Every structure is written in structure tokens, then in C-alpha cells.
Amino acid sequence: MSNVVFHRALTGQRWDGVEVLAYKEAGTTFQSVTRQVLFEGDPALCVQLRYFEVGPGGHTTLERHQHVHLVWISRGRGRVYVGGEFFELAKGDVLSIPTLTWHQFRAPLNSPLGFHCLVAADRDKPSLPSDQDWRELTQSREAAAFLRR
């Protein structure tokens, strides 16, 4: 049996045979985000490749975890908070989210932000900021204006 994974690209950041899923189960820690799993992992390549799309004005969960993300921007533009730094994002940009580093992506109000994200198939669950973490994270005016939880 062949182990080839082939998902033909369709229009509008969709792939043949790939379902558009909710970003996470439920919750108020994110807004307007979808997830597509393009590669589930293989014993000889223990990574997963996902595509996320953040709708206009939406944001991903503010979180941190041991595992590292490798992200490349595939659609639109946006902004990301990574461990106290902000980066303006545009299609083609590549960035990593280091281990145990708080991060949150946001799309502009009028357009979506799409990105591919590579992760280890075996990875820890994200943790969310405690009240104390939140106070520390939002000390700067820029972070307080940007971050959501």
C-alpha cells in the first residue's frame, strides 16, 4: 500500500480531501480561526503540517508550550506577538515560535491571515496565561492593546 500523501490544491487555500476544522474544540480564547491538517505524520517523519486561517479581525489563542512551531505565511498579512516582540507578517514570511514562548497571531480588520505551521507530531498541550501571567504580559501599552485572552 502506498503511503503517498497527495492533496491537490483547490482555489481559496483549500486542498482536495482535506476537511476545514474548527481551530480548537471551543472557547473564547480565539476568534474566527479554521484549521486544515495537510500531513498527519509518519513514523519516519514525526511532524504534522497544518494550515490555519484567521478571519478578518480574528486572533489565535494566547498560549505557550514546550514544542516549537515553524510558521510560514501563505495568505494575506497580519501581526504576531512572540515573547514580547511584534512582527508584521506578509505572505512568504517564515518565523519560528521558540519553546515556552507566549504567542498570538492577529489578522487585520479587513482581511484574513493564512499560515502553514509545522509541529512535532508528539507534542505537549498549550498552556494559557494565568492572571499573574496576564498582568505581566500586558505591562507594555503595545502588548495590552494587542493581546486578547
**Catalytic choice (62, 117, 119, 147):** 117
C-alpha cell at 64: 505557550
User: Cell 498527519 sits at which residue?
Assistant: 40
Residue 123 CA, chain-centre distance (Å), reads 15
**CA triple 86-56-130, angle to 5 deg:** 50
Per-position DSSP letters for 53-121, written without gaps between them:
EEEEEEE---BB-SS-EEEEEEEEEEEEEETTEEEEEETT-EEEE-TT--EEEE--TTS-EEEEEEEES
Question: What is the DSSP code (8-state) at residue 43?
Answer: T
46 belongs to the catalytic site: no
Which amino acids are annotated catalytic?
Answer: 117
